[in-house]
Chain A
Amino acid sequence: MRRRWLDPRVQEHIAFASLWIVMIVVSLPVVGIMGYMLYRGASALDWQLIADAEEGLLPAIVGTTWLVGLTALIAAPLGVGAAIYLSEYARPGPLLRIIRLAIINLAGVPSVVYGLFGLALFVIMLGFGRCLAAGACTLALLVLPLVISASEEALRQIPAGLREGSLALGASKWQTIRRVVLPNALPGIMTGLILSIARAAGETAPILFTAAFYWLRDPYPNSLFDEIVAMPYQLYVMASEAPGVPIEKKWATAFVLVALVLGLNLVAIVVRARLRRRRW
């Protein structure tokens, strides 16, 4: 028999205590840095800096809003359509297996590779140029796996009894999906969409070569094929390349971006927690 160098119960105490210590030691710098960032950002922020139509953050905020709005508009029908197929139509088999593998791989493709793809397809081949539409299309493809898996989960949570009830009343399959399944799954689908908007708002690499500019004479887009400025790209250039940017502006941009992204995520977390408590 193996020699016990420590009583198992003592061992357990030591192990659990060290795990607690590790959790706390790791959390401290994370909380500290986040807190420092919120502090620096909040103190750098003032109304002038946000609302100034030329030198302030407003152009980037407007640009990012356009970008993510359009992204959601493109990704929603494609993603929800794919999710309806996966949850309502697909039968187990090799095809379904390959579709799932493809979606998993899409989720793992590096964001800068999406940028290359968007550059080759939208900017050059389809001739969009570096613009709002090309960036939104690229971002839509990037968030597509996220929209699909969130929507599919929402659809699968609808009990089979609801579908059967509708079918038994003589409704067709599509009528059942349209009138019974989708309305009930809507909150879950919206949660997924909020999360993908948050993701798209913070992504930089996909819009590097497809949409974003650091400085534009007229930063507010008038059409889908206009050049834009966007928050994450502003932050990147300000932090690493552009000389002479006041440090307050850097912190304020980082703060607004983080507040937007984390705020959207918090909304999604709360909505989802509510949904999980729902009883059928």
Chain B
Amino acid sequence: MKKRVSRVWEWGIERLIQIAGILGIILVILIFFFLLRNSLPILRDFALADLLAGREWRPVREPPRFGMLPLILGSLYVTAGALVISIPLGVATAIFIAEIAPPRAREILKPAVELIAAVPSVVLGFIGLMVVGPWFARSFDDIPVGSFAALGSIMLAFMALPTIVSICEDALYSVPRALVNSSLALGATRWQTITRALLPAARSGLIAACLLGLGRAIGETMTVLMVTGNAAVIPRGLMGFLRPVRTLTATIAAEMGEAAQRSEHFFALFTIGLLLFVITFAVNTIADLIIRRSEKDIA
């Protein structure tokens, strides 16, 4: 009797575990479904081209305009700036940790990078607002106020850096040691080995790292909300980096509090969320495919 009870119990537990196992899939579908459902009123009433390429974001005017181009460009500016800083720095740090640093420096650097990753984005925004922004405004005449696109890029670069460093490191470590050793045995210096054997062999992993950094930067909310000035204008040229912009994420965070539930404005913010979801989904999936393929190549 007791045995039968325990068998039923065990059967139940194992079913629960199976459900937990596919929970990830269920969640992705649920998130997509809820974003889509709440975007439908907007997607039905406005042409997709007007939404994505419309030049005016004026959600509360009559009639409202939901042109997302300024926000998309704002996100692109801030993200591009962040990647220009964090990719070279991240790859250099990974090379340094994996190949060059003496063991003691490595033991300090690795947890230090992890700790940077742990700093909450609202704190980074606070630092940008209180320390870094005012410093730029004092030091450079071209910058009228302490909130501008490039400041968002600089703060975001720190958020993307740990992601890039750790994935790059994995990519460097997964290169077979025999390859490095043969290069050294042929008389190449360590630097030549790094640039001509190690980096090319780890290439796809490095690309994936940059993509994941991109995904991280484009989805960041609080930091950019606090330091980029939140002006929904289309940035122009390089000077655009020194002017306030507004990103997709910051728009949702700033306006959802004021939008009346089930108003057009409310649904339009969900449409931005859907766009963000689609972008990050594509970026992460491509990065994953690249990593899988490189693992297969090495094996």
Q: Give A171-201 interface residues, CB cut-off 8 Å to B.
A: 172-175, 198-199, 201
User: Which chain A positions have C-beta within 8 A of B48?
Assistant: none
List A residues 110-156 near B (Cβ within 8 Å).
Answer: 110-117, 119-121, 124, 141, 144-145, 148
Please tell me if the beta carbons of B212 and A258 are within 8 angstroms of each other in the complex.
Answer: no
**B13–A174 touching, CB < 8 Å:** yes
Residues on the B chain within 8 Å of A20, using CB:
96, 100
Residues of chain A with a CB closer than 8 A to B188's CB = 8
A contact residues, total (Cβ < 8 Å): 82
Give the interface segment out of B57-65, B198-206, B232-240, B270-278. B270-278
Identify B273's interface contact among A8, A89, A116, A203, CB under 8 A.
A116
Give 14 CB contacts A-B under 8 Å.
A19-B96, A30-B158, A99-B24, A101-B285, A105-B280, A109-B281, A110-B249, A117-B35, A121-B30, A144-B27, A148-B24, A205-B249, A254-B127, A262-B118
The answer to whether A202 and B18 have CB atoms under 8 Å apart is no
A67 at the interface (CB under 8 A from B): no
CB distance from B121 to the nearest CB of A (A): 7
CB within 8 Å for A117 and B28 given contacts A16-B100, A33-B131, A104-B288: no
Nearest A residue to B97 via CB reads A23
Residues of A within 8 A of B40 (CB): none
Q: How far is the CB of B28 from chain A (nearest CB, A)?
A: 5
**Interface contact A113-B118, CB-CB below 8 Å:** no
Whether B21 contacts A86 by the Cβ 8 Å rule is: yes
Contacts of B93 in A (CB 8 A): 23
Contact B24 A81 (CB under 8 A): no
In the complex, B283 has a CB within 8 A of chain A: yes
Report the bound CA distance from A89 to B261 in whole Å.
Answer: 43
CB < 8 Å: which of A112, A175, A265 contacts B253?
Answer: A112
- B100-128 toward A: CB 8 Å interface, digit per residue (1/0)? 10000000010110111011111101110
Is B166 interfacial (CB-CB < 8 Å)? no
Question: Is B256 interfacial (CB-CB < 8 Å)?
Answer: yes
Residue in contact with B257 in the complex, picked from A107, A111, A208, CB distance below 8 Å = A208
Query: Distance in Å from the Cβ of A114 to the closest Cβ of chain B?
Result: 8
Pairwise interchain contact A8-B191, C-beta atoms closer than 8 A: yes
Answer yes or no: B23 CB below 8 A from chain A CBs. yes
CB of A211 closer than 8 Å to a CB of B? no
User: Beyond A82-B23, A102-B25, A232-B120, is A204–B222 a contact (Cβ under 8 Å)?
Assistant: yes
Using CB atoms, name the residue of chain A closest to B192. A8
Instruction: Determine chain A's interface SS by DSSP, over half rule.
Output: helix
Which residues of B in the span 1-52 have a Cβ within 8 Å of any Cβ on A?
Answer: 10, 13-14, 16-25, 27-28, 30-31, 34-35, 37-38
Complex-state Cα separation, A209 to B89, whole angstroms: 35
- Decide: B256 and A209 in contact? CB cutoff 8 A: yes
- Hey, what's the 0/1 contact readout for A8-30 against B, CB within 8 Å counting as 1? 11011001100110110011001
Complex contacts, A93 vs chain B, CB 8 Å: none
Q: Taking CB as reference atom, which chain A residue is nearest B101?
A: A23
> Are B189's CB and A12's CB within 8 A?
yes
Q: Do A116 and B35 touch across chains, with their CB atoms under 8 A apart? A: yes
Q: Is B132's CB within 8 Å of the partner chain A?
A: yes
Contact count band on B: 35 or more
In the complex, per-residue mask of A80-106: 1 if CB is within 8 Å of any chain B CB, else 0: 011011100110000100111111111
User: Known contacts A16-B100, A33-B131: does B219 contact A108 (CB below 8 Å)?
Assistant: yes
B221 at the interface (CB under 8 A from A): yes
Q: Nearest A residue to B191 by beta-carbon distance?
A: A12
Interface check B72, CB cutoff 8 A:
no
Docked pose: A91 CA to B24 CA in angstroms: 16
The answer to whether A84 touches B222 (Cβ under 8 A) is no
Known: A8-B192, A11-B191, A198-B118. A105 touches B285 (CB 8 A): yes
- 8 Å CB contact of A104 from B38, B127, B269, B284: B284
Q: Which of B248-299 contact A (CB under 8 A)?
A: 249, 252-253, 256-257, 261, 269-270, 273, 276-277, 280-281, 283-285, 288
Asked if B28 contacts A106 (CB within 8 A), the reply is yes
With beta carbons under 8 angstroms apart, the residue of B14, B37, B216 that contacts A174 is B14
Q: A116-B269, A120-B270, A173-B14 given; name 13 further pairs at CB < 8 Å.
A: A11-B189, A15-B191, A84-B17, A85-B22, A104-B285, A108-B219, A109-B219, A109-B281, A120-B37, A202-B123, A203-B120, A204-B122, A261-B118
The answer to the question of B226 belonging to the interface, with a C-beta cut-off of 8 Å to chain A, is yes
A78 at the interface (CB under 8 A from B): yes
